[in-house]
Amino acid sequence: MSRGLSFQRTLRTPRGPRRLVVTPEASLRYWLPRSLNSDTQLCDFAVRYIKEGRKVWDIGANVGIFTYLSAALVGSTGRVLTVEADPYISQLLIRSGLRVPEGDAHPEIVTAAVSRASGLGDFAVPNRSRASNHLLASSGCTQTGGVRFSFKVPCVTLEWLLEHSFAPEIVKMDIEGMEHEALSGAPRLLREVRPILHLEVWSEIAPKIEALLTTNAYLMFDGDNDLELTTPLSAPTWCTIAVPQEKLAATIAG
């Protein structure tokens, strides 16, 4: 019953309400009027660490809650790059972009998947929520209910995005188990640009993420329980905030 439907919902931001176009295909909770701020951890992270004028990447944007909250927070002097592989969801992001008020950043939307190498990838749409869309190179999460259909999508690397957009200060990444593949193909991002990272980390890839972040002198924190960044972790957790060691004090100070 939810397939093919879209409607507007209100996202609450510190600069006032913003109207986004959403679909219950991405989450059944979007049937509820106040659903866009229900991911309190992600919204709290954005409000705490995204300041006016900052440059933000949203990799795996879904319907754009983090994108459009960031756009309000960074204002017209900041920039937001939004990457979403599903063209059905991407066109909703574009429609939401038509409603961005003056004074917000206008998200720069890229319809592509992010992986270790550029090219074409097989992209799966699950039987359940499109929030669990994934490249077939990933097994997908346990909530997919199987694959409804798949198709080819363009794949880009984070390095390619650096070359063709701007260097980010904050990167949020939720790409269904492909986070290590994406980050391992982005040496310049980790070694030179060194943004703060907000990552979804599955247990299957946690050891690889730990090794990659440790090698590049990042400290890891539990994004669900330590938003103040007080206690570094020895290993990543489901919601991991990773901060370059040399930027920790400045990040905490704001």
Q: CA of 246: how far to CAs of 132, 192, 214, in Å? A: 34, 12, 13
Q: Residue 101 gets which letter from DSSP?
A: P
pLDDT, block means (10 residues), the chain with 254 residues? 87 97 92 93 97 98 97 98 96 96 97 95 83 77 71 96 97 93 95 97 94 98 97 97 97 90
Model-level pTM? 0.94
What pLDDT is stored for residue 148 in this prediction?
Answer: 81
CATH of 39-115+157-253 given 3.40.50.150, 3.30.365.10, 2.170.16.10, 3.40.190.10:
3.40.50.150
Q: Residue 99 gets which letter from DSSP?
A: T
Tell me the C-alpha distance between 55 and 177, whole Å.
24
What pLDDT is stored for residue 83 in this prediction?
Answer: 98
Rama region for 203: left / alpha / beta (φ>0; ψ in -120 to 50; rest)? alpha
What pLDDT is stored for residue 147 in this prediction?
Answer: 79
Tell me the C-alpha distance between 29 and 38, whole Å.
9
What pLDDT is stored for residue 190 in this prediction?
Answer: 97
Tell me the C-alpha distance between 239 and 42, whole Å.
9
What pLDDT is stored for residue 143 in this prediction?
Answer: 61
Q: CA of 118: how far to CAs of 64, 113, 169, in Å? A: 24, 9, 23
